[in-house]
Chain A
Amino acid sequence: MKPAAFDYVRAESAAEALEVLHAEGAGARVLAGGQSLLPMLNMRLARPAVLVDIMAVAEWRSVEDDGSHLRIGAAVRQMEIEQRADLARRQPLLAAVLPWIGHAQTRSRGTVCGSVAHADPSAELPLVLVALDGRVHLRSRRKARQMPASEFFTGMMATVRADDEIIEAVSLPAAKPGTGYAFREVARRHGDFAIIACAAVVDQNGARLAVGGVADRPMALDLPVPGSPELPDALNQFAWDLDARDDLHATARYRRELVRRIGREVIEEAQRCRA
């Protein structure tokens, strides 16, 4: 399994990367950490004419924390975020999911924005972005635009990103006082793709549950708080609405049961974390 031939540009500035994307359109692919793209190239599921390596672009290498939001640039590796000493305090949900992404041997290279761009329905980072109502920042030579994560993902490995656009950053809200966060994943082995991944955010107003690995993209629903008599019915309805399918790893029925059970458990755990 070797990639088909492609040209390679190591962009030294954002402008240079955007110029190549503008000129090549669908023939170009952004290469960041390569931990999702290289398997696709090796298996020839993708055959781009040119790869634009963005890891030397200085303006995309930063993480900004303005107090209310964390903004993670396109060339920031997952390991770099994971090793921030204050991460569990600044955004506990992000800290909780990072160890679940692939393995240390892939997080050392893979980027946060690259995982969002790849948009695998069972991936952890798109799930967190949807759970926290984070935003995706796109840029092309023509313009910059941004949108909530829930509007960015449109289906299985499908997003609203145009061919000449790059995700230059994602931003997510920092932890708020009085808000609890929790995450759980069910997979055959640590590092495998999630059969289901659940992230919950609970504050005084209610609970938000995001589920990955079931629908064709991460989906979130605002639900009654734990202890509310409506919660079981609301979870059951959500489980059916996700339109789970049978696959090699689990049946649709099993996945619905996981949404009901793991969903309730993460909401309860997030509730406990509020204290």
Chain B
Amino acid sequence: MAGNKTFIQEKETSDLINSHALTYMTIHQGSFYENHGKYKGIMAWITSTDHKRIGLLYLYSITSAFVLAAILGLLMKLELIAPGKTIMDARAYNGVFTLHGITMIFLVVIPGLPAVFGNFMLPLMIGARDVAFPRLNLFSWWLYVLGALVAISSQFMGGGPPDTGWTFYAPYSFRTGTNMLPAVMGAFILGFSSILTGLNFIVTIHRMRAPGMNWFKMPLFPWALYGTAWIQLLATPIVGITLLMVVGERLLHIGFFDPALGGDPVLYQHLFWIYSHPAVYIMILPAMGVISEILPTFARKPIFGYKAIIVSTMLIAIVGYFVWGHHMYTAGMSSTALIAFSFLTFLVAIPSAIKVFNWISTLYKGSIHLEPPFYWAASFLFVFMIGGLTGLILGSLATDMHVHDTAFVVAHFHYIIFGGVGFAFFGAIHYWFPKIFGRMYDKGWATIGWITFFAGFVTLYTPMFYLGIMGMPRRYFDYLPQFHGWNIVSSFGALILFAGLAIIITNLVRSARMGPIAETNPWGGSTLEWTIPSPPPLENFKEIPTVTRKPYDYSEIS
């Protein structure tokens, strides 16, 4: 990352070191890229406890996992381009959608925003030098890598790739001869990593906010991370123990979930969704936080309903615990339970809607600057609303019976998770890129990449709603001839989406090395990370700032 400006900084710094004793101040001249600590090369990264380096480690590992899983998704879409076998048989297809699911959920979307942008930005946004437990933070990343390797090793050992889908439903998950143990243990280790990240963030937010930054002067991305961290902490142990019980079933035949031994397979589904439903809020809350940062910056206007957004974040985190049953309407529950879960599901939609109204009101009469991060945030609103409203069709008992386990569910899920978290992730990387890398990307290509991706996304997933309503089941490698038309459209969309993805990644990778040097505050943001140099110095702030203003006060930003 040695551009001209950084080179000059380096030179100045080395002159200073030559002429003075190495004082605290001189260390803070260079960016964190130059302060490599005890080791050099790759060791300077994988042994670093600097939250910024750890954030980037996550960025690179998560992006690799994402590209792998996205390619698997493309392969599935190519298989579905025509009825019958096209490029893989049923067995291979089962393995591919399982690996796609495990990788996307446990390796990409759950850690995604908190681990990358939470790590990098949280201390900067609250005016801290690091997270509360830097060594624990590094340990979380190591656990992440270990979990990823264990999970992926399931592909290469005897028995063949797991074929249960990412939900590991009992009793099939302990009856199948495929390699379930590494997959399940990998997910367990990844859960542990997620818990430790959440724990770290909660303590950081409680203890390390800059003087003057009381709870209602804290920006909304840290607020979203706070809500997320509590879910990570309190929901993940449930899936941890559930996965351990699956291990117990496979190794010791205990019978918790085995009907042949008197156990209850539906109990597995309950336990799994007690975690995995809150987990979708682990995914979406930070995404909402990112959108709440981007929109006011590009509207040059304080966010509308700051406190309402905070309250809705916390409400989602709390109510989100009590809606897991809506994944199991057809699994066999009392009608009282069904109605309660359906009611709560409608209830949890309200805080999300509050946020959407707040975001739109923020734009109203704002001075809107059309830049790539804004495009991502605006298209987030679009796809998030489609995803959210179709969620209500699934949350309502009568309609869910019709579309349960069809392509409709897949479309809804991808609109929310890929459309929500994915768009927010790309929005976040385009928003904070100049801060992280100290360079600006090519905005023209970024816009072309966005529009291609967006067009591909809509073409890929919208037909799946129609296919689902027509009755096409999910997770089948084959389908009836009447579904052919929409499947062609969908597969074609996947190809467009991939073209967009290639443009985006190429542009960003190229710009990180060769883009023009970025200013301290290229977008006119008002939060603390824009007050320090790009890229940030090792200890972030020369002096810890004292916060007197609200986070989205643009009166002093030119």
Q: Do A and B bind each other?
A: no
